[in-house]
C-alpha cells in the first residue's frame, strides 16, 4: 500500500511518500503440512520531496516544482522509516 503525508523537518514542509507492508501472522500448518513463519511490518521504499517555485524564462511564469531531497534528509540523520511507522500508528 502506498501512503503519503506532510511533515516538517528542520523548519521545511516536506512530503513523504512510502510503501508499507503490514505484518503477516505466522501459520503453524497449512493443510499440506507446511507452515509460514510470517513477517514483520516493513517500509519498502520512501521518497522525501520539497515543493518550491521556479521561474520559467521561456513562458515567463512561476512553476511549482517538487524536488527529491531524500538523500539530503538521510544525510542529516533523520530516521525516515521511523517517521513513516509513526504516521501508520496515527492512522489507527
pLDDT digits (tens, 9 = 90+) for 80-89: 999 999 999 9
pLDDT digits (tens, 9 = 90+) for 43-91: 989 999 999 999 999 999 999 999 999 999 999 999 999 999 999 999 9
- Domain assignments of the chain as residue spans, ordered by start: 2-91
- E strand segments, the chain: 2-9, 12-21, 42-56, 61-68
What CA–CA distance (Å, rounded) separates 82 from 92?
Answer: 16
Q: Would you state the pLDDT for residue 59? A: 94
Helices (H), 1-92: 70-75, 80-91
Q: Would you state the pLDDT for residue 36? A: 81
Amino acid at each position: 500500500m502506498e501512503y503519503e503525508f506532510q511533515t516538517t523537518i528542520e523548519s521545511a514542509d516536506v512530503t513523504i511518500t512510502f510503501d508499507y507492508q503490514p505484518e503477516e501472522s505466522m501459520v503453524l500448518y497449512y493443510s499440506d503440512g507446511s507452515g509460514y513463519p510470517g513477517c514483520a511490518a516493513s517500509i519498502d521504499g520512501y521518497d522525501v520531496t520539497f515543493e518550491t517555485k521556479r521561474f520559467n524564462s521561456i513562458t515567463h511564469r512561476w512553476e511549482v516544482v517538487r524536488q527529491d531531497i531524500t538523500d539530503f534528509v538521510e544525510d542529516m540523520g533523520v530516521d525516515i522509516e521511523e517517521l513513516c511507522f509513526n504516521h501508520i500508528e496515527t492512522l489507527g
